[in-house]
Structure 1
Amino acid sequence: MARYAQSERRLLADLLLAVGPDAPTLCQGWTTRDLAAHLVMRERRPDAAAGILLGPLRGHSERVREALAARSYPELVGMVRAAPWWSPVSNPLADAAANTLEFFIHHEDVRRGQPGWRPRELPREQQEALWRRARGTARLALRRVRAAVRIQAPGYGEATAGSGGDQVRLVGSPGELAIFLSGRQRAARVQVDGAPELAAFLRTAKLGV
C-alpha cells in the first residue's frame, strides 16, 4: 500500500537528519549522504537511474550521484522527503509498487548500520505488503543459487526459487526475508536450514536484483 512507502520515506528522512551525513549504512562503502544522493537520483534523474541496473550506464549514474552528494545535506534530505509527483517511480500510480520495498530496505540500511539496532515490530498489513513484493522478487534475487530455495514466512505464505537441486529452507518474517533477499544477509534475522555448505553459500552469495 502506498501509505507504507510514504511512512517509510518520512521515517528514513527523519533518521538521515538525526544521524548526520557521515553515518555508516549497510550499503557497502556508502555513508548516509551517499545513500540520500542515490535515492534522489533514482527519483529525479531517470537518465542516470537506468545505470543502477544497466552496466554501460553505470559511469554516468555514478557521476550524477556524486554531483548530488555534493549538495548541502539538509537540502538532499529534503529532496528525499518530498517525492516529486512527476517521477516515474514516485508518482501516485507507481509509488506503492516501486517504493514500498525500496524505502523499507533503505530505512533499515541506515537503522542497521548504527550500533545497538533492534528489529522493529511492523504492522501485519505492512508485513503483507512486504511479503507480496519480496515473494515477487525472490526468483530474480536467487537466480544464481544452484539449489531449490523454499522461502517461508510463517503466517503469510511461502514460495520457491533458485535453480533446483538440493533444497535449502529460508524462514523469517516478510521484512527480514526482504532484507535477506536484497543481499543484506548478514543483517537479516532469518533462519537458513539445509546442507551446511549450501546454507553457508546462501548466506554469503550475491543476491538482489
Structure 2
Amino acid sequence: MSNHALAERHRLAELLAAAGPDAPTLCAGWSTRDLAAHLVIRERRPDAAAGIRIGPLAGHTHRVQESYTERPYEELVRLFRSGPPVLSLFSLPGADEAANTVEYFVHAEDVARAGEGPAPRPTPPGRAEALWRRLPLIARLEAGRRSPVRLELSRPDGRGLTVGPAGSPTVRITGEPGELLLFAFGRGARAELTVDGPSDAVEALRHVLPVP
C-alpha cells in the first residue's frame, strides 16, 4: 500500500533542510524555522497542538512554539523527518496517512513556492488521486465556508465538485488536485489554475480567497 504521507514527509524535510532556517514560506508571517517548529509540536506536543484549533489554548501553543523555534534548526528538521514518537496519536495504524497526506503536501508547497524557484513539480498520479479523494471535505470546510460565490472546482479531465452558497454567481476554478487544494487553503495566488466566471464574482472571490 502506498504511503503518501511518508513520501510527503521526506519531501518536506528535504525542502526544509535545503532552504535553511530563515527562508520565507506561504504561511503568513512564518519562516521555515517557524514551520519546522510547528510540525514538530503538532505530533510531539499534544498539549500545545490543541491550541492550533482551539482559541482559548492558543496562548499556551504560542509559548511552546516560541520555545521550539529557539532550538537548533537542524534538530527540528531531524525530529520531523524521524516521524512521530511511539506514544503520539499519529503513530496509530493509518493515522499518519489519514491526517498528514494533505498537511505535508501543502506545507511542502509552502516552502517550494515561496521563493523564485523552478515551476512546481508534477504530483505522482497515485498521490494526486489521494489528494482528490480528500478534496471534497476540505473544500467544503475551507473554501466553501469562506467564498461569497458558488465554486466549481474542476480537474482538466472534467471531474469536479461544487461548494459554496447556492443561488450565487458561479466561478469555475480548474487545475490538478494539488493545485485545487492549495486554492482551498488560501494559496491560490501561487497555484497553477485557470479561473472563469463573471468579472464581479471573480473579484468578490479574490478578496476572500486568492486566485492567480
After TM superposition, the score normalised by the length of structure 2 is 0.91
2:15 match: 15
Aligned 8 A contact 2:112 2:120 in 1: no
Distance change >3 Å, CA 82–CA 201, structure 1 → 2: farther
2:184 match: 181
Distance change >3 Å, CA 91–CA 202, structure 1 → 2: farther
1:162 match: 164
The reply to whether residue 197 of structure 1 matches residue 200 of structure 2 is yes
The reply to whether residue 86 of structure 1 matches residue 87 of structure 2 is yes
Secondary structure at the counterpart of residue 205 of structure 1: coil
2:97 match: 96
The runs of 4+ residues in structure 1 deviating greater than 6 Å are: none
Q: Deviations over 1:157-202 (max 9, x none)?
A: 2111001211111111001001111111211111121111221232
- Deviation (angstroms), 1:3: 1.5
**Equivalent residue letter for 2:33:** R
Distance change >3 Å, CA 90–CA 39, structure 1 → 2: farther
Q: Distance in 1 between matches of 2:150 and 2:135?
A: 17
1:72 match: 72
Distance change >3 Å, CA 171–CA 197, structure 1 → 2: same
Secondary structure at the counterpart of residue 126 of structure 2: helix
Q: Distance in 2 between matches of 1:204 and 1:41?
A: 32
Aligned 8 A contact 1:153 1:171 in 2: yes
Q: Distance in 2 between matches of 1:204 and 1:191?
A: 17
Q: Deviations over 1:87-146 (max 9, x none)?
A: 223533211110110000001100001212311112211110011112221111121223
**Equivalent residue letter for 1:192:** V
2:38 match: 38
**Equivalent residue letter for 2:21:** P
Aligned 8 A contact 1:150 1:168 in 2: yes
Give the number of equivalent residue pairs: 207
**Equivalent residue letter for 2:170:** Q
After TM superposition, the score normalised by the length of structure 1 is 0.92
Q: Distance in 1 between matches of 2:7 and 2:96?
A: 12
Q: Deviations over 1:5-28 (max 9, x none)?
A: 111111111121111100111111
Structure 1 unaligned runs (5+)?
none
Aligned 8 A contact 1:12 1:106 in 2: yes
Q: Distance in 2 between matches of 1:133 and 1:156?
A: 17
Q: 1:152 aligns with which of 135, 151, 154?
A: 154
- Deviation (angstroms), 1:154: 2.6
1:54 match: 54
Distance change >3 Å, CA 196–CA 58, structure 1 → 2: same
Aligned 8 A contact 2:183 2:209 in 1: no
Structure 2 unaligned runs (5+)?
none
> Percent of aligned pairs with the same residue?
50
Distance change >3 Å, CA 205–CA 2, structure 1 → 2: farther
